[in-house]
């Protein structure tokens, strides 16, 4: 596995692979890898010749009161996991390599789909995401990029950007990886105390309750949400940020589930903000 620290080196690697006729996949991450990330690599390997993974904790997508400084990092362990997973090149730029001056003048804005859910809770977050992802796409120049469906809205926003700006690559969304008890895998799970870890299953359980009620015939979003709120409020440390049922494509809130919808929620367990989602009313 080639380890790359600079943009220039990354471009050279790209050219070499391209000359060999290789089809390049890209898995951008913020590191502290778990099975969710590794499943992206597995899926990427199936349809491509070389997988590039990037690890970069992007300051631009964190709010001033968020966990940029505390975000877990373990490059040594990540490097080993990436190599074992079959990553061909691991791109590990420093902050100054990606942002020679900070904040940079140019940003990419996506209206509507970035304004709801996490976009409403975390102002500027998706601008930070689209901007860094566009930068990485322009550096790595992959044929396809893979993102986890746990960040459903992120994938939706990135797909919109790629479509609107005619970026020459395909975006693939990969199903959520879960712990045995249902908790969606996330680098932020490491923040949880033992007690909080137990409480954290309220997110996936609430989503299952929603799906069960929906499958039994309840289509009223308000009612579906009420049962989820009840489940989450059973946990003493849980504070709901949002629970919404939205059109899976437009992310506009629905009153009734009549077509494919995403049930998305963000819940703080103690000081840790977790998100999860599920698709109902159609195939995932």
139 in contact with a second copy (CB under 8 A): yes
Residue position matching structure tokens 């899926």: 43
Nearest-angstrom CA–CA distance, 206 and 276: 10
SS3 124: coil
Closest CA to 184 of 254, 269, 72, 271: 269
238 in contact with a second copy (CB under 8 A): no
Minimum distance between the CB of residue 250 and a second copy, rounded to whole angstroms? 10
Q: From the list 109, 195, 212, 215, which residue makes contact with a second copy (rule: CB under 8 A)?
A: 109
Minimum distance between the CB of residue 69 and a second copy, rounded to whole angstroms? 24
96 in contact with a second copy (CB under 8 A): no
112 in contact with a second copy (CB under 8 A): yes
Q: Does 125 participate in catalysis according to the annotation?
A: no
Q: Which is nearer to a second copy, 112 or 212 (CB)?
A: 112
Q: From the list 83, 84, 94, 164, which residue makes contact with a second copy (rule: CB under 8 A)?
A: 164
Contact in structure between 263 and 210 (CB atoms under 8 Å): yes
Helix (H) or strand (E) holding 29: strand 24-29
Helix (H) or strand (E) holding 221: helix 221-232
Contact in structure between 175 and 279 (CB atoms under 8 Å): no
Nearest-angstrom CA–CA distance, 17 and 12: 9
Nearest-angstrom CA–CA distance, 262 and 204: 13
Q: From the list 106, 194, 216, 283, which residue makes contact with a second copy (rule: CB under 8 A)?
A: 106
Binding residues among 195-224 for a second copy as defined by CB under 8 A: none
Contact in structure between 80 and 55 (CB atoms under 8 Å): no
Residue 124: count of CB within 10 angstroms of its CB: 16
Minimum distance between the CB of residue 147 and a second copy, rounded to whole angstroms? 17
7 in contact with a second copy (CB under 8 A): yes
Minimum distance between the CB of residue 108 and a second copy, rounded to whole angstroms? 5
CB neighbours of 44 closer than 8 A, spacing ≥ 6? Answer: 25, 26, 27, 51, 144, 146, 172
Q: From the list 80, 138, 190, 223, which residue makes contact with a second copy (rule: CB under 8 A)?
A: 138
Kindly indicate which of the ranges 54-62, 99-107, 170-178, 218-226 contains the residues binding a second copy, using the contact rule CB under 8 A: 99-107
DSSP single-letter state for residue 260: -
Q: Which is nearer to a second copy, 84 or 112 (CB)?
A: 112
131 in contact with a second copy (CB under 8 A): yes
**Count of residues in contact with a second copy, rule CB under 8 A:** 27
- Which residues are known to be catalytic? 37
Residues making contact with a second copy (CB under 8 A): 7, 11, 104-113, 130-131, 134-135, 138-139, 141, 160-161, 163-168
């Amino acid at each position: 596995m080639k380890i790359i620290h600079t943009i220039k080196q990354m471009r050279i690697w790209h050219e070499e692979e391209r000359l060999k006729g290789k089809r390049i996949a890209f898995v951008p991450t913020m590191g502290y890898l778990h099975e969710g990330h590794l499943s992206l690599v597995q899926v990427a390997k199936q349809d491509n010749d070389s997988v590039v993974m990037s690890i970069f904790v992007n300051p631009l997508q964190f709010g001033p009161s968020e966990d940029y400084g505390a975000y877990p990092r373990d490059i040594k362990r990540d490097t080993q996991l990436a190599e074992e997973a079959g990553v061909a090149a691991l791109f590990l730029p420093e902050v100054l390599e990606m942002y020679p001056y900070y904040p940079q003048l140019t940003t990419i804005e996506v209206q509507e789909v970035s304004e709801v859910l996490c976009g409403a809770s975390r102002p500027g977050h998706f601008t930070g995401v689209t901007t860094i992802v566009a930068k990485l796409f322009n550096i790595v120049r992959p044929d396809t990029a893979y993102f986890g469906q746990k960040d459903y809205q992120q994938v939706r926003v990135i797909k919109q950007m790629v479509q609107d700006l005619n970026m020459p690559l395909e975006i693939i969304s990969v199903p959520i990886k879960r712990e045995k008890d249902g908790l969606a895998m996330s680098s932020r799970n490491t923040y949880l105390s033992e007690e909080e870890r137990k409480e954290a299953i309220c997110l996936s359980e609430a989503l299952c309750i929603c799906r069960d009620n929906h499958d039994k015939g309840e289509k009223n979003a308000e009612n579906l949400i009420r049962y989820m709120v009840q489940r989450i409020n059973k946990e003493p440390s849980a504070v709901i940020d949002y629970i919404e049922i939205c059109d899976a494509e437009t992310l506009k809130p629905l009153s009734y589930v009549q077509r494919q919808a995403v049930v998305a929620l963000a819940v703080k367990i103690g000081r840790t903000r977790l998100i999860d989602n599920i698709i109902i009313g159609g195939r995932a």
